Amino acid sequence: MRVLVVEDDPDALELLGNALAYFGYDVAQATNGADALTLVRSGQFQLVISDWEMPYMSGLELCREVRRRMSACYTYFILLTARTGTHNRIAGLSAGADEFLSKPVDPDELEVRLRVASRILSLESRDLVIFSLAKLAEARDPETGAHLERIREYCRVLAQHLAESPRHRQTLDGDFVQMLYLTSPLHDIGKVGIPDNVLLKPGRLTPAEFEIMKQHAVIGGQTLKAAAEAHPGAMYLQIARDIAFSHHEKFDGTGYPYGLRGEAIPLCGRIVALSDVYDALTTARVYKPAYSHEVARNIILEGDGKHFDPEIVEAFLANEDRFLQIHHQLSPTLPLTEDEAALVCQTANA
């Protein structure tokens, strides 16, 4: 992350710059508010650390100017000050400062304040990134946009059930459930790299075409992996990456792209796998009609321990009513009954 440090004392500037570089930040420096404002306007800085007392333009005025300008993303503003007292804090916060740092700067305090800043900034970028990528995935997906809505609802139901189970109670929490809910719509993001003649083909794919289609898991996973590496603290990118890579893996190791088996498949991938298949079964596709919940349930039970993690199947069975409810709320067409589906299957086999 690039940090702009504004300080009129060259020694204090050097000391702060040294600490920031030590903590791994890319540092730019300004010795007055006017120069700092020009740099902020370049749009390169999401984090500004400014001395309060400076000639010509104080840190307080600089902060007000930063808040006044239109910007694509939030600028986190830390005021450096030796001032104490509530009225000074109120003045700083009123000007738009997010945080204060006591002078002279203590490296330990600086490090934790920066961690807070990074956390808050990553929350903003997280939602923007997920939203943008999900819209991109939606635009390339031949299914309806409601597919993504349903998937994340199904995932949330399954994850909530697991989080309450004795086995996972200590390790899965509301954050995991929420992160899965946010990132599951990105499972097929790799489809942006699949050619139209395969992705949009009406009807079944040939084996060769299916091989091409299978690449979407790797394309999506690699894309999100690169993003996760660039932002090691962004947990949501790591979960999104794992989902993209592993949502077509099967519990018995016969899935793709890596043939992972059992719990070597990330839990988030195992959850999305069942949700995705349930949705594919219960909604109409260009190559098949929508099957009823009962048909989908039977197919999922057949895949218990083979395609699907038995624990996830158990969570599904315990929440069938919620799956049905989500399906009815978010599906544009009614599914076939069991008899209708059987008829369809017979016709297809004939």
* Shortest Å distance, C-beta 104 to other proteins: 4
Per CB under 8 A, which region of 15-23, 196-204, 283-291, 306-314 contacts other proteins?
A: 15-23
Question: Does position 164 bind other proteins by CB under 8 A?
Answer: no
Per-residue binding letters, 49-68, with other proteins (x by CB under 8 A)? ----x-x-------------
* Shortest Å distance, C-beta 201 to other proteins: 29
* Shortest Å distance, C-beta 321 to other proteins: 27
* Shortest Å distance, C-beta 32 to other proteins: 13
Q: Rounded to an integer, what distance in angstroms lies between the CA atom of residue 121 and that of residue 1?
A: 10
Alpha-carbon distances of 237 from 21, 107, 168, 230, 241, rounded to whole Å: 25, 29, 22, 10, 6
Q: Applying CB under 8 A, which of residues 19, 62, 78, 240 lies at the interface with other proteins? A: 19
Locate 258 and state its tokens. 């890596």
Phi-psi group of 284: left, alpha or beta (phi > 0 → left; psi -120 to 50 → alpha; rest → beta): beta
Q: Within 321-350, which residues bind other proteins (CB under 8 A)?
A: none
Question: Does position 176 bind other proteins by CB under 8 A?
Answer: yes
**Residue 238 or 275: which CB sits closer to other proteins?**
238
Question: Does position 14 bind other proteins by CB under 8 A?
Answer: yes
Q: Rounded to an integer, what distance in angstroms lies between the CA atom of residue 315 and that of residue 306?
A: 16
Q: Applying CB under 8 A, which of residues 127, 164, 175, 211 lies at the interface with other proteins? A: 175
* Shortest Å distance, C-beta 64 to other proteins: 20
Q: Rounded to an integer, what distance in angstroms lies between the CA atom of residue 299 and that of residue 313?
A: 11
Per-residue binding letters, 240-269, with other proteins (x by CB under 8 A)? --x--xx-----------x-x--xx-xx--
Label residues 29-50 b or e (16+ Cβ within 10 Å = b): bbbbbeebbebbeeeebbbbbb
Tell me the torsion sign for CA atoms 107, 108, 110, 115.
positive
Tell me the torsion sign for CA atoms 11, 17, 18, 20.
positive
User: Position of tokens 């799956």?
Assistant: 323
Per CB under 8 A, which region of 89-97, 164-172, 307-315, 334-342 contacts other proteins?
A: 164-172
- Burial class of 145 by CB neighbour count within 10 A (0 to 12, 13 to 18, 19+): middle
Q: Applying CB under 8 A, which of residues 40, 105, 129, 151 lies at the interface with other proteins? A: 105
Q: Rounded to an integer, what distance in angstroms lies between the CA atom of residue 279 and that of residue 277?
A: 5
Question: Does position 166 bind other proteins by CB under 8 A?
Answer: no
User: Residues 6 or more apart from 97 whose CB is under 8 A from it?
Assistant: 60, 63, 77, 78, 79
**Residue 228 or 326: which CB sits closer to other proteins?**
228
Alpha-carbon distances of 179 from 92, 131, 158, 223, 236, rounded to whole Å: 34, 13, 13, 18, 6
Q: Applying CB under 8 A, which of residues 107, 193, 253, 289 lies at the interface with other proteins? A: 107
Q: Which residues bind other proteins (CB under 8 A)?
A: 8-12, 14-15, 18-19, 22, 24, 53, 55, 82, 103-108, 168, 170-173, 175-176, 179, 221, 225, 229, 232, 235, 238-239, 242, 245-246, 258, 260, 263-264, 266-267
